[in-house]
Structure 1
Amino acid sequence: MIQTETITGATRWEALADRVLKGKPLSTEEALSVLQCPDEALLSLLQAAYRVRHHYFGNKVKLNMIINAKSGLCPENCGYCSQSIVSTAPVERYSMLKKEVLIEGAREAIDRQAGTYCIVASGRGPTHREVEEVAEAVREIKSQTRLKICACLGILSEEQARRLKEAGVDRYNHNLNTSASHHDQITTSHTFDDRVRTVEHAKQAGISPCSGCIVGMGETDEQIVEVANSLKELDADSIPVNFLHAIPGTPLEGMDELNPRRCLKILALFRLMCPTKEIRVSGGREVNLRSLQPLALYPANSLFVGDYLTTEGQVAEQDHQMIRDLGFEIEECAL
């Protein structure tokens, strides 16, 4: 085992990359050292993370687009969310969008060169009617396009997961959001185990599991490593890393503990801990990474284009240009 405290500078991070590429997991101490990387060594850390990213994904970038299929009206008390029952943020409130609107959203995803179209609905979990409404739209989208469809509808039963799989849903997203030890500080209306159980239901139905986190919610370095380990154990195929965008009117309003360098170290950690997985730069990237957004694609290989659920994202054409400027390539669009 490499004693990272005896290795300095670029050699330390290259040694970690070597170990990861040989299939050896990071120890807790090594994972913490990534988060605590000195700012002056950040480029060396990113180079090491890039080596791992390039080994598995080359310079391809996966693009994903979200449609907010049902907004507000949520009984949960998640502290980060503007759509929760405890939020006073002014957000649109509407029930499940009609099938035609969801299908039109799929066409927009193709126009933005996204390969994955994410149908997201607020609420604790879907009703059986809502599952059928989404399933009907998915069947039609799949008959017309080669888009990968991701659904994110909240807590899911085994039967609902099976129905979504039969309709053609490729991926189901249900984020762990934070570590088990920090979960009660963020929400008390459901448990960490409820979230794990939903991801397991999706996996059992044969749907690719997508699960990630939100950072910047008062968690410690140890808790970031803890949630990364939980996602690794869950074997999530896609890991969205969200950076808290604290919206006025939410319980976490005013929290601002991230900076662009911190965000890049967190992305590097997830690449080194989950080397073969899709690491997606997700919500809050524009406001937290700011001018350093392009560097995020050295550890990450995926991002959202367009708007998020209740906040605006960067214009898709700017993302396309950013990718080209890096010398990277958008993964083939699903036409």
Structure 2
Amino acid sequence: MISDLSSTLATDSRWHQLALQVLEGKHITSVQAEEILRTSDDELLELLAGAYRLRHKHFGKSVQLYFLVNAKSGLCPEDCGYCSQSKLSKAPIDKYRMLSADQLLDGARLAAERGSKTYCIVISGRAPNEREMTAVEMVVPQVKEKYDLKICACLGLLNDTNAQRLKACGVDRVNHNLNTGKEHYDKICSTHTYEDRVDTLKNVRSAGLELCSGGIIGMGETPSDLVSMAMELRELQVESIPLNFMHAIEGTPLEKEGNLTPQDCLRALCMMRFVNPASELRIAGGREKHLRSLQPLSLYVANSLFVGDYLTTKGQPPESDYQMIADLGFEITRTEFDSP
């Protein structure tokens, strides 16, 4: 009887009905997206069930693993308030220039050993200089030949020429996060604009590369700001969306932010899935800190995660991720999922 009642409640819920509309190809509105973010805790499981219908339609029970290497750390002239690598940060982090080709290849080896589909090469800074561009161009073909990994490059602001060079050397996609909504952006950064980030994504798309772009929740934004970012990602038709959960680092301007509950994180993931149902959705930095024991629930919405550490913060052991995925009955795959 309890099982029957639960089934009836799930299929009668407004989130089930909204999921059906999305499955029929209808976009949800900004108002509906904000309603998702304001869902009560009592409705959260029904919301997750609706989001899972969308995830399952496009990705089944597959999980894609990503591995990132901090290929250049610190030394950044930008003033992004959340970042321990910015010029304003007093956080004690490692600072070094571009890693050698051998070091980047060793990172690719580890990515392959951990079952990753994609190797993410990330550098700090406003934009890549010629030396950094050349280093990426030289190592990407070697990584692909030796380890058969997809390559995602995160190199800062890109002009048309640099985007085309990345495409030519074999990069598959470029990461450049919007980070937050347009109206909130000047509260977290002043050395470049939201429009600069959008322009980079448009340059990347024009070069024929896939887009990886997401953001960070918990930086003092409003629900409207978060929805605005999600809608912009939909407009840009972003293939991959990493969602970070603000891991406030002592010594950064936003060190007091990041007051999130696991439920806040789950609601944000659900909203992003309803707005961008066919995009790969990744639980990224801060998931261990904020989702805590509810991490498994996040994979009923997201279909991807970083395995290992982040740029300047630690992740949980890969074995914990593998166990979580297995316990859910999901499967790690390095191939694209073909929806039924």
Which amino acid is 1:225 matched to?
V
Which amino acid is 2:230 matched to?
A
| Distance of aligned partners of 1:254 and 1:76 in 2 relative to their CA distance in 1, 3 Å threshold | same
- Structure 1 segment 289-308 matched on structure 2, within 5 A: 289-308=291-310
For residues 102-139 of structure 1, what are the alpha-carbon distances to aligned partners after superposition, in whole Å with 9 as ceiling and x for unaligned?
Answer: 01100100111110000000000100221110110101
How far the C-alpha of 1:92 sits from its partner, in A, is 0.5
Which amino acid is 2:51 matched to?
A
Which amino acid is 1:12 matched to?
R
C-alpha separation between the residues in 2 aligned to 1:47 and 1:191?
37
Provide TM-score, normalisation by structure 1. 0.96
Picking from 230, 233, 236, the partner of 2:232 is 230
Picking from 140, 151, 154, the partner of 1:138 is 140
How far the C-alpha of 1:303 sits from its partner, in A, is 0.6
Q: Is 1:263 the equivalent of 2:265?
A: yes
Q: Structure 2 unaligned runs (5+)?
A: 1-8
Picking from 222, 236, 239, the partner of 2:241 is 239
Picking from 16, 19, 33, the partner of 1:17 is 19
C-alpha separation between the residues in 2 aligned to 1:223 and 1:132?
37
| Corresponding residue number in structure 2 for 1:105 | 107
- Structure 1 segment 1-335 matched on structure 2, within 5 A: 11-332=13-334
Contact 1:241 1:281 in 2 (8 A): yes
Which amino acid is 1:305 matched to?
V
For residues 111-169 of structure 1, what are the alpha-carbon distances to aligned partners after superposition, in whole Å with 9 as ceiling and x for unaligned?
Answer: 11110000000000100221110110101111212200000010011111111111100
| Corresponding residue number in structure 2 for 1:4 | none
Which amino acid is 1:48 matched to?
G
Which amino acid is 1:234 matched to?
L
Contact 2:73 2:96 in 1 (8 A): yes
How far the C-alpha of 1:8 sits from its partner, in A, is 11
Deviates more, 1:71-80 or 1:157-166: 157-166
Q: Percent identity?
A: 53
Provide TM-score, normalisation by structure 2. 0.94
How far the C-alpha of 1:10 sits from its partner, in A, is 5.3
C-alpha separation between the residues in 2 aligned to 1:254 and 1:132?
39
For residues 163-207 of structure 1, what are the alpha-carbon distances to aligned partners after superposition, in whole Å with 9 as ceiling and x for unaligned?
Answer: 111110001000000111000000000000100111111111111
User: What is the SS of the residue equivalent to 1:182?
Assistant: helix
How far the C-alpha of 1:257 sits from its partner, in A, is 2.3
Contact 2:10 2:46 in 1 (8 A): no
C-alpha separation between the residues in 1 aligned to 2:126 and 2:182?
19
Aligned residue pairs, count: 328
C-alpha separation between the residues in 2 aligned to 1:270 and 1:212?
10
Contact 1:10 1:41 in 2 (8 A): no
For residues 202-221 of structure 1, what are the alpha-carbon distances to aligned partners after superposition, in whole Å with 9 as ceiling and x for unaligned?
Answer: 11111111110111000001
How far the C-alpha of 1:294 sits from its partner, in A, is 0.6
Contact 1:10 1:44 in 2 (8 A): no
Contact 1:53 1:301 in 2 (8 A): yes
How far the C-alpha of 1:333 sits from its partner, in A, is 7.4
Structure 1's consecutive aligned runs of 4 or more residues displaced over 3 angstroms after TM superposition are 7-10
Which amino acid is 1:49 matched to?
A
C-alpha separation between the residues in 2 aligned to 1:264 and 1:53?
14
Two-structure CA RMSD over aligned residues (Å): 1.4
Contact 1:110 1:333 in 2 (8 A): no
C-alpha separation between the residues in 1 aligned to 2:12 and 2:213?
31
Q: Structure 1 unaligned runs (5+)?
A: 1-6
C-alpha separation between the residues in 2 aligned to 1:309 and 1:10?
43
| Distance of aligned partners of 1:133 and 1:147 in 2 relative to their CA distance in 1, 3 Å threshold | same
